[in-house]
Amino acid sequence: MSQTVLAPDSRLIHSFESLAVRQHRNHFKTTARSVLLGICLLPLLACDADVEMKPVQDETVTVESRGSLDPIAMQQSQRGGVYTTWGGPSPKTLNAWLEPWQLSGQVMGLLFETLVEMHSVNDQPVGVLASAWQISPDGQSFTFTIHPKANWSDGQPVTAGDVQFFYDTIMNKDHLTTAWRVTIQRFERPEIIDAKTVRIRSREKNWKAFWDAGAFFALPKHIWEGQDFNKINKEFPVVSGPYELVSYKRNRFVMLRRRGNWWGRSLAYNQHKYNFDYLKFRLIEDRTVALEKFKKGEMDLYSIYTSSIWATKTKELPMVQKGWVVRQNVFTRNPLSFQGLALNMRREHLKDKRVREALAHLLNREQMNRELMYDEYLLLNSYFPFLYPDNTNPSVPVRKYDAEKAARLLDAAGWKVGPQGVRQKNGKDFVLHYITYASDNRHLKLYQEALKRAGIKLEIEIMTMAEVQKRAQEFNFDLYWINTGGSRLPDPEGRFHSKYKDEKGSQNLPGINDPAVDQILDQLNQESNLGRRKILLAQLDRLLYDMVPYLLLWQSDKSRLLYWNRFDTPESLLGKFGDESSAIAYWSYSKAKSAALDKAESSDQQLPPLPDVVRYVGP
């Protein structure tokens, strides 16, 4: 076997650092106020009455001479402090292998580790648990050597058996790990060569088999073997990553503590990273309430996803005007993905493509962007916008609001306007059910009005996040809003292949069942040439555009951040491919800036302004 270095076009999508679950996706004062809220100036007894927080005491480690530093990390970083950010609503579970929710994925990615990850700047592998790897001549077998220092928080070594146990756990069909099986099932059961060596073989040649194999986690077999994995939700007593779980208070917060005995601090690539002693994720469902908490100093960073809030409720804030809070648009090179309303094509009234196209023409995105979003967003016409200049497919039009065309399509599909003004077919009214846990449904209200004018009823069902997740897993909806995470390694099979259309919990939410789509996806699995992959993705994009499985919405090519000016940050703020969650890895608490902020607040003085726009500049 020979050592091989691969250079794919994007990053590990199955690493929880970028899961996206990436769906969301990951996933982020005066001195007296600082003691109680936001950044706590350690040492302190606690920042929360329920959690005692003492400064983390680091064990002495010898940093390995081999390997390079992460170019995004700051060499002047300082360890300590408590970083508090918004975690969204309370997840049903923190076990992201059961529920790939953004916060859950982010937390698991800080507690557990993969074999390798993709470099922060270039498309090269960096060892995490693995210190070395070999690729067989046929490109299907990958032998990983686990770092001799890699151990669990209870002192037990991380072994090849723990990687095999991860595979067995995910592949167990009694476990609610469907979304993960899409990728893991492409591999044979890992072979244990010895305690620190594991071989993972792909069942067939696949363009990113190395990266998928390298994305295997290690799970603590000596702790979890024999337990019901579906019941492992909020207690993770043994971990291998840089943080450990301290407390999970439903509807209040998730608290993590930096591990002073983390074995990974001996690796060069991990130097000057994961600096905060404690991470606190505030669990707040309503984003407007979350903003108010941030303004009171109860959170350190708040990412704005609502353009109206950004445009009307942040720029003129006194703390922003005085430089106490930094307000910045941050541009990275993270590939843009799509956002849309999934149309459940399993439902009889949504099987006809003419109906789905009509629904697309009744969605007045131009009005929504203008009136609700201050023209801050790009209206999508692609499922893979990163393929095209300016993220817009030049070969097809952006579907526009056209009530007359929609009426013609609905008439042709047999949905005629009845005596009460509601469209009917075979004696049944045309009714759509949209499921959500969001309290802000202004966009859907506008759509509801447009549908009503066209003779269609839209029922907006507001429920808890757990209820929405259950309904989505069981495909019990007509319309469901999702925002897919961008990836440096785009792999659309799980979202669009017919073999997942009826598998509970799969990403094929619309129930796509199309031989032409399957054929392209099967070709993509075998194609490693980046140029030909782009051609195939463009062909797939056109098929999906014509099929209308989603009502494509809009996207933003930037992160909109508010944060209290008490941090040292990289020049690029979030790195080359990062988002607000990158602050956890790369930012650090600055005593000098915190003192300057406290002084400015207490004397009502201005701090020097920082740039309104930050762009990644580099290789």
Residue 101 confidence class, pLDDT cut points 50, 70, 90: confident
Exposed e or buried b for every residue in 141-151, given b needs 16+ CB within 10 A? bbbbbbbebbb
pLDDT at 33 over 90: no
> For residue 442, is pLDDT > 70?
yes
445's enclosing H/E stretch is helix 442-453
Mean pLDDT, the chain, integer: 90
0.85 exceeded by pTM = no
* Encoded amino acid at 337, one letter: S
Predicted pLDDT at 10: 25
The pLDDT assigned to 1 comes to 29
Which one is predicted more confidently, 525 or 120?
120
Domains of the chain: 31-270 (3.40.190.10), 339-555 (3.10.105.10)
- Non-local CB neighbours of 339 within 8 Å, separated by 6+ positions: 380, 481, 482, 483, 484, 552, 553, 554, 555
pLDDT at position 182, please? 85
Mean pLDDT value across residues 436-454: 95
Please, are residues 1 and 143 in contact by the beta-carbon 8 Å criterion?
A: yes
Distance CA 168, CA 242 (A): 25
**Using one digit for the tens of pLDDT, what is the confidence trace for 317-347?**
999 999 999 999 999 998 999 999 999 999 9
Residue 588's nearest CA partner among 39, 36, 103 is 39
Q: What is the pLDDT of residues 269-308, one digit of tens each?
A: 999 999 999 999 999 988 889 999 999 999 999 999 888 8
Residue 578 has pLDDT above 60, yes or no: yes
- Over the stretch 21-30, which tens digit does the pLDDT of each residue have? 232 223 222 2
